[in-house]
Structure 1
Amino acid sequence: MLTALLAVAIGAAVLMGMMTVYRDIPEQMGREMRSYGANMIFVPAEGKTAMNLFTVESVVKEIPQEKIVGAAPWRYKSLTMNHLPLTGAGTDFLQVEKTRPYWQVDGNYPKNDNEILVGHDIAEMTKLKPGEVVNVAGKNENGKPFRQELTIAGILKTGGKEDGFVFLDMHLLNGLLETPDTVEIMELSVAAPAGELELYRQHIERDTPDIVPRLVKRITRSETTVLEKLQMLVYLVTAVILMLTMICVATTMMAMVMERRKEIGLKKAIGAENRSIVSEFLGTGIVLGMLGGCLGCVMGYFFASAISFSVFGRSVSIVPAVIVITLGLSVVVTVIACILPVRRAVRIEPALVLRGE
């Protein structure tokens, strides 16, 4: 009985641990996948080159804020830096750190409006270093020239086209261009599965005709593939554990029937019905399932916490529904495991057993 109890407890522990961890996997995996960049972007509608910043920010607020990891606006303009022609990009550096966490910066991200990031290729060409002051010049939307002295806060190295850009604060660039409420692209990093992202996209596309939302398919597709494989792994491990638990309990109960053959035969000889024998063994199985399930729930919580903390760096919360499912499956498995031993018990012939045959 102790062996069967431990088997049920271990099976319930693994079952609860896997279900608890899997419940948090989509959210946690979604946040981990955000390190690969934004998974949704807003672009202007056809025929337009820019969007209103306040309109874009109001649309972003329609997405549940707890799911938004970052939302970075972008605007591009041809500029010169120390008479060198290049492309300037305006953005919100606090949000860029969230939407593009893979960026490598030698120095610091700009903290003030008069600070900029310079791409690695430009820095190599001009021999510029963090802390140096440069002259950035260009023309605003009305053709009026402007010039501004800015300090290099850091050198950006991504290995991509960003290495040839200079990055300014969005408010500074819009101020120089005298278009304070303009954004060309909005990058969003949303911790949500592909299906949920598609619902957000359809809602925004329907309600805001001036904005065209698009999903970054390579990011969302990769996330969906990983989650599907993890789901199959969880199902496979759970099925194997439940099967092994069932076999262990069935073997133990069969041994109990064989040990108690004379007792069962004596009971039937003095008038016990098969229903009484069935109730006795099934009752034992139900009690075994409940006790093992309760013990397994406690063990499963610590098991899930250890996995979640080691993989995602955070603990898990207790979900009543998972506990109920674990207890229910533990009882169902033990009852199913008792079916074969019970059939063996009711087929015992009292006369043969009592004669020692």
Structure 2
Amino acid sequence: MKRQTMYFRMITSSLIRRHSRMLVALLAVAIGATILSGLVTIYYDVPRQMGQEFRSYGANLILVPSGDKAAFRLEAVERAADFIPPGDIVGIAPYRYETLKINEQPFMAAGTDLDEVKKTSPYWFVSGEWPVNDGAVLIGQEVAGLIRLSPGDTITATGTSADGGSFSHDFTVSGIVQTGGTEEDFIFMSLLDLESLMGNDGELDVVECSISASQTALEDIVGQISENVEEVTPRLVKRVTQSEGTVLTKLQALVYLVTVVVLILTMVCVATTMMAVVAERRKEIGLKKALGAANKSIVMEFLGEGLFLGGLGGLLGVVLGFVFAQTVSMNVFGRSISFQPLLIPVTMVVSIVVTGLACLIPVRSATDVDPAVVLRGE
């Protein structure tokens, strides 16, 4: 029989004979590994989940005309968008504002891409339907209340175009916008509809961008756009980006704290269990020493038992940790998470190291056993 095979059989036999105590140690390691694996999975997935949640609060980056310019062209927006990773773009909604008259009363009209607005401003509540055809508009609740409009009504917009000519055009009210903010004072229509009335095609006043990225990444994007696109000035919406960064920092700090506390408790539990095992096996250790066993072989045997428990507990923790993280994510964010294969070796290595450190004191006490004293029954 090979030496390694014999060593493995000694370890497994010892664990089986003392299965009740070893089960407690294995359970402690598995719980610690579960918390470690689960929290690390959540740690890496929380920025993505939180980023998606914060996107429901509106845009986190806006583009405005640079310098003294009153507007900028759509081509400048396209160049600026090249500096945003395509996978991070949630939505980019351009806006152009003009004054129109309805029933001889002036109102501010906003021409935009309404499909993109759904992405950048998902918090809008629309009574009725979003416009799907040309000639349909969304009316802010304040405007609708002022001139008593309901979904399905027809309005006539009049005004003066950029070339000095007058216009009159009928629109159908598709829905009423409720946000609790300034949007309720506007009339929203497609950018093409507004351009057909006012002229000056391609001119924009502001662009709202919703980007799924960290504050650091957003600051890098702002810097690149500022350096390379002269026509626009990028600005971060600080009330969104700073809140997101603050929440993420606190959540990640909590993950660190809980993980450290759980690993310390795991070490204490494993060390206590191994101390009890050493106390039970004092006569066995004394007999081995009396027969010529070196301290090194005693140390290797106990460390082998501890490391075996650490590896097995770590493997269980990987599986249970993913289940734990998935449950937390579904209940908190309502979204599933992806499994990180790198967690398998990381969790097992950490579990083995923690178990090995926990076994140091019990192993030290095992080497201090005096065969003469133990075999006399003292």
TM-score interval, smaller chain: over 0.9
Identity of aligned residues (%): 51
Q: Cα distance, 1:101 vs. partner?
A: 1.4
The answer (yes or no) to whether the contact 2:126–2:175 under 8 Å persists in 1 is: yes
**CA distance in structure 2 between the partners assigned to 1:306 and 1:345 by the alignment:** 42
Alignment of 1:191-230 (within 5 A): 191-230=212-251
| 1:65 positional shift | 1.7
Instruction: Give aligned pairs, total.
Output: 357
**Partner in structure 2 of residue 289 of structure 1:** 310
Q: Is 2:346 the counterpart of 1:325?
A: yes
Among 99, 123, 131, the residue aligned to 1:110: 131
Letter of the 1:77 counterpart: E
Name the residue aligned to 1:173. 194
Shift of 1:316: 2.1
The whole-number CA distance in structure 1 between the counterparts of 2:186 and 2:326 is 44
1:41 match: secondary structure: strand
- TM superposition shift of 1:96: 0.9
Is 1:51 paired with 2:72?
A: yes
- How far apart are the structure 1 equivalents of 2:78 and 2:171? 28
Within 2, Cα distance between the matches of 1:3 and 1:159? 56
How far 1:170 sits from its partner (Å)?
Answer: 0.9
- Find the counterpart in structure 2 of residue 126 from structure 1: 147
| Match status 1:11 vs 2:32 | yes
- Which of residues 113, 117, 127 is equivalent to 1:92? 113
Distance 2:270 2:284 in 1: 21
C-alpha displacement of 1:314: 2.6
C-alpha deviation, 1:187, in angstroms: 0.2
Look up the match of 1:75: 96
Distance in structure 2 (CA, Å) of the matches to 1:8 and 1:183? 60
One-letter identity of the residue aligned with 2:164: G
| TM-superposed deviation, 1:161 | 2.0
Tell me the CA shift for residue 201 of structure 1: 0.6
1:66 aligned counterpart, secondary structure: helix
Residue aligned with 1:320, SS: coil
**Deviation string, structure 1 residues 242-275 (Cα, Å, up to 9, x no partner):** 1111111111110110000011111111211111
Q: 1:194, CA displacement in angstroms?
A: 0.4
Structure 1 regions of 5+ residues with no counterpart? Answer: none
Specify the alignment match of 1:248 in structure 2.
269
More displaced 10-residue stretch of structure 1: 200-209 or 55-64:
55-64
Q: Which runs of 5+ in 2 are unaligned?
A: 1-21
Query: 1:167-212: CA deviations, max 9, x gaps?
Result: 1111111121112211111100111110010011101111111111
* Structure 2 counterpart SS, 1:112: coil
CA distance in 2, matches of 1:309, 1:233: 19
Does the 8 Å contact 2:76/2:231 carry over to 1? no
Do the aligned partners of 2:290 and 2:371 also contact (CA within 8 Å) in 1? yes
Quote how far apart the aligned CAs of 1:135 are.
0.6
Which residue, out of 327, 335, 338, partners 1:314?
Answer: 335
The root-mean-square deviation of aligned C-alpha atoms, in Å, is 1.1
Amino acid at match of 1:148: H
Q: Look up the match of 2:61.
A: 40
Tell me which amino acid in the other structure corresponds to 2:38.
G
User: Are 1:262 and 2:299 matched, yes or no?
Assistant: no
How much does 1:241 deviate? 1.0
Give the letter aligned to residue 175 of structure 2.
G
Note the C-alpha offset of 1:82.
2.2
What is the DSSP-based 3-state SS (H/G/I as helix, E as strand, rest coil) of the residue aligned with 2:139?
strand
Question: Is the Cα contact below 8 Å between 2:79 and 2:229 reproduced in 1?
Answer: no
SS in 1 for 2:339: coil
- What does residue 6 of structure 2 align with? none
From 38, 46, 63, give the equivalent of 2:84. Answer: 63
User: How far apart are 1:67 and its partner, in Å?
Assistant: 1.1
In the alignment, residue 210 of structure 2 is paired with which amino acid?
Answer: S
Counterparts of 1:118-157 in structure 2, within 5 Å, are 118-157=139-178
The TM-score, its normalising length taken from structure 1, stands at 0.97
| Matched residue, 2:297 | 276
